[in-house]
Structures are given as structure tokens and as C-alpha cells.
Chains A and B, each alone.
Chain A
Amino acid sequence: MKPTSNRAMHKALASRLASREIPDDVLKSLADRLTIDDLTIGGIDFCPYGICIDYFSEKPVELATFKPLGKYRELRLFPWGILDDELWRVRLEVHVPELQTVRVR
């Protein structure tokens, strides 16, 4: 996707969130779903599939850990490496149908 389209998508999503098109209870349940014990949310990005979310973990991570997230498309695991070899970064593309139907003008 071209950078300009990414920017437009982020703006459209921000407008949809800010204007309360997505109900409060949906957002609350989404936040609960993304919260996983022993994993720290390091950052999020938005993509057409839903949310790309970065977690950090100091323990070995098992796939079953991510079951509460529901559908996810891709999981990438990085050692934090030079900065800290005990730390793992886990990036997932999580399916978030709640955020779909964003209209990019």
C-alpha cells in the first residue's frame, strides 16, 4: 500500500473512532481481548486486516497464549537482541472486524 493511502486510512479510522461510530462496549471488549497476562503492549498499528500489535515478553511464548485474541493472521517473533537478549517482541496481525468498513476518501 502506498504511504499516502496509509495516511488516509489512519485519518479515516481516527475520525471513525473519535465520532463514536464504534460503540463504547465494542471498544471495551476489544481492549479486554487485546490484554494478555504476562505480555506488555509495546505499540499498535492499524492495517486493513485489523490491528498489528506489538507485545513484549520476558518469558518463552507459546501459541496457546494468543487464543483469547481470536483470529490472527500472522505472528512474528523477534529477539530484542542487542538491546536485551532476554526480551522477546511478538508482533501479531489481529483480525478486528469491529474496525472494518473504514471508508477512505
Chain B
Amino acid sequence: MDGAPHPLGAGQTGVQPTVRAGFLPGRTVHLHPLARCNLACKHCYSSSGPQASAMLDPDLLVRLMPHLADEGYETLSLSGGEPLLYPELPRVAEAARAAGMRTIAITNGFRVAPRFQHLIDALDGLAVSFDGLRGVHDRVRGTPRAFEMGVAALRHLQSLGRPAAVAYTVSRESLPDLPAFLEMVAPLGVRGVQLRPLVMTGRATEEYTGPALGPADMIRLWLTASALQMAWDGEMAIHCDAAPAEAVRADRMAWRAALTGTGTVLSDEINPLVITPDGRLRPYTFDFPARHDLGSVETFMVSPVQARRRMAGLRPHLAHAFEDLADETGVIDWFAWVTARAQGRAGPGVQRGIPARV
């Protein structure tokens, strides 16, 4: 039964563990090579914008890729800032491919156009980010062209016969737009949609607090997503980064290596691994507390074992996060949940910075 899916998670009933590490289907590095962006979105968790200057040395990143592959990472997911603004994106992506990793990027779509074909060709897949239909999206992005450019990007990818995906930020404002949005993008060749609950961190804590999701919104999101998954079954894969707390709890054995320190490579315990524009290796989320950083890109290349040793300080927070689920009956974003615990804001029902509703 190796590798067979199990509804309660491998290990709980004697089934052999799968190779899955955590709740992601693959082992992923979220690389933020730069903080600069042509937009300054109200909800940006990395506070990116035109004035942001932090950027990683491309030579350093090229050298880093084989080390990441050696630690079991399979996918390099580029974000930012706007990743298509990174000057040497093709070279870094080529190094990742040469190391055996798949390369994808999440973009606002402004550079997904014919004159940037070399950037598109450098990547195995592209996801265009949206925050709702035109009205909400353009207001959040701070420009009246943002929605039009995002849609144009999808049209361009469709014309190239390239698979396209969408990363959709779900807020109280954008959730009502979601069914109509899917009707709009389905004919544009979109084959996957990731629904990402708004994270109340970075610039969102100052400019976008109103649309934060409360506990009832999370239930609404999960039910809506469940209905939409059935509605679009066979045409678009819809993934929601939210699940009932008890389902998360039941699947805890996917985290066995991280909880027990029995991983043999870093990706057994840290998935996803985040690399910030200032070169820090961080567990799980961009806003995970810096005291749990696993080191810098440079120190990681010298000694990945040190990064794994740093996991020891994180383990109690992980265990605590699972223990807290026992009293939770709602729907949660697991990574927000565990980040809140590591930040010291524990207690059932606490999402990151989300004001209590209902």
C-alpha cells in the first residue's frame, strides 16, 4: 500500500508513510528574488513596490539551485516583488531546471506579452494573480489597467498553447466575485485555480484590514470552494488553501518528519521553504518569525545540516499548533494557523491578525 491515499493520513492506522512532506503535493521553494514590483498592492504580504530595492545576486542563486535539489526540493516557485522584473530570471530558471527542478512563477501579468517571450520560455508554468473582478482587483492593485493586463496575460498564454493557472486572493470583497470570475477565465484556457485566503500581514495590516476573513468567512469560503470544485470538475482544478480543522488534525502524520525530527533532507521537514529578497531561509511563510530563520543562502550552501538543526526550535510550535486544533471546529488556513502560533498569538480561532467575527 505504499503511496496509497489514505483519508486519515498515512501512519495513523499502520499504513506505510508516503513521501509527502506536509500538506503540499510537492516539495517547493518559494523564492522571492527581489522586492521590487511595478505595483504596490494594498494587501501585499511582502510589502513590495516600485521603491523596494532588496534583490538577490543572480550568481548566488545559480549556485544555490543544486543545493536545493540535493535537499529534495522539486519545484522552484518564483514570486516577489514581480518575478518577471528580475533581471536574470532566465539564467536562474535554467540553473533550477539543470538541477532537476520544475520552475513556475506567480505574476501580475504585465510582462506576459510577446516582447517578453524569453521570460515566458524560461518557465515551465505561470500563474497570474487576481484579487477579484475588475472593480475590486484594480482598486487593490492601485491602477485601472491591472485587471485588463491580467486578462491579457491569460489570453497570451492561451495563444501560445501554454498551460495557465490563476492565484486568487480571497477576501471579504473578492469572495462574492469568485463564481463569475471562474466563468470568465475558464474559456481563457485556465486549468488550475488556487484560492488563497487573504493574509493579514505586510501592507495589508495598514491598508486592507476591512476585507480580512473572519471564522464564518472561512467556512463560507470552504463551502463555496467545495461547490465550485464539483461545478468545474473535469475543466478546472480548484484548490482551496483552507480546510476543516478536524481534517487538518487527522492528516497530521503528513508532518511526522517535522514533528519528530526524523527527516533526512531539509524538504522532509520544511515544505515550503521560503527565501526572502534579503537572502534569508524561512520556514513555511514569508511572515514566519525571523527568529526561526534557518540561516542565509550563503550559510545554507556551506552547511545544510545547520539549517536542519535550526528546526529543533520550531518543533514545539508545530506540536502546539496541532494541539490547538483539538478545540477548533471551524475552517482554517493551516499555514496562517501555525504562523500565528510561532508568533506567540495562540488560541483556537486565531488567524493571523484577523479580527474576531461571529
Q: Contact residues of A with B, CB < 8 Å?
A: 6-7, 10-11, 13-15, 17-20, 22, 24-25, 27-28, 30-32, 35, 40-42, 44-46, 56, 58, 80, 83-84, 86-87, 89
Contacts and interface: CB of A to CB of B under 8 A. Distances in A.
Nearest to A44: B226
Contacts of B226: 44-46
A45 B220 CA distance: 15
A40 B7 contact: yes
A101 to B, nearest CB: 15
A15 B329 contact: no
Interface in B160-217: 175-180, 214-217
A43 to B, nearest CB: 8
A89 B12 CA distance: 16
B244 A17 contact: no
Q: How large is the interface on B (under 10, 10 to 19, 20 to 34, 35 or more residues)?
A: 35 or more
B4 interface: yes
Contacts of B246: 35, 40-41
A31 B329 contact: yes
B175 to A, nearest CB: 5
B158 interface: no
B159 interface: no
B358 A28 contact: yes
Given A6-B230, A56-B7, A87-B8, A27 B223 contact: yes
Contact of A18 (B1, B176, B250): B176
Contacts of B214: 24
Contacts of B250: 40, 56
Given A11-B179, A15-B179, A42 B7 contact: yes
A31 B6 CA distance: 23
11 contacts: A10-B227, A14-B231, A17-B223, A18-B176, A24-B217, A25-B216, A30-B219, A31-B219, A31-B330, A56-B250, A86-B13
Nearest to B178: A18
Contacts of A18: 175-179, 220, 224
Interface of B: 1, 4, 6-8, 12-15, 175-180, 214-217, 219-220, 223-224, 226-228, 230-231, 244, 246-247, 250, 329-331, 357-358
A7 B231 contact: yes
A83 B14 CA distance: 11
Nearest to A27: B219
B221 to A, nearest CB: 9
Nearest to B331: A31
Contacts of B357: 24
Given A17-B224, A31-B330, A58-B13, A46 B230 contact: yes
Contacts of B14: 86
B7 A87 contact: yes
Given A35-B246, A41-B247, A87-B13, A14 B228 contact: yes
B176 A20 contact: yes
A15 B223 CA distance: 11
Given A18-B178, A83-B4, 18 more contacts: A6-B230, A7-B230, A11-B228, A14-B179, A14-B224, A14-B227, A14-B228, A14-B231, A18-B220, A24-B214, A24-B217, A27-B216, A28-B215, A46-B230, A56-B8, A83-B6, A84-B15, A87-B13
B247 to A, nearest CB: 6
A82 B299 CA distance: 48
Contacts of A25: 216, 358
Contacts of B230: 6-7, 10, 45-46
B229 to A, nearest CB: 8
B341 to A, nearest CB: 21
A72 to B, nearest CB: 18
A65 B193 CA distance: 37
Nearest to B214: A24
Contacts of A22: 220
A22 B4 CA distance: 38
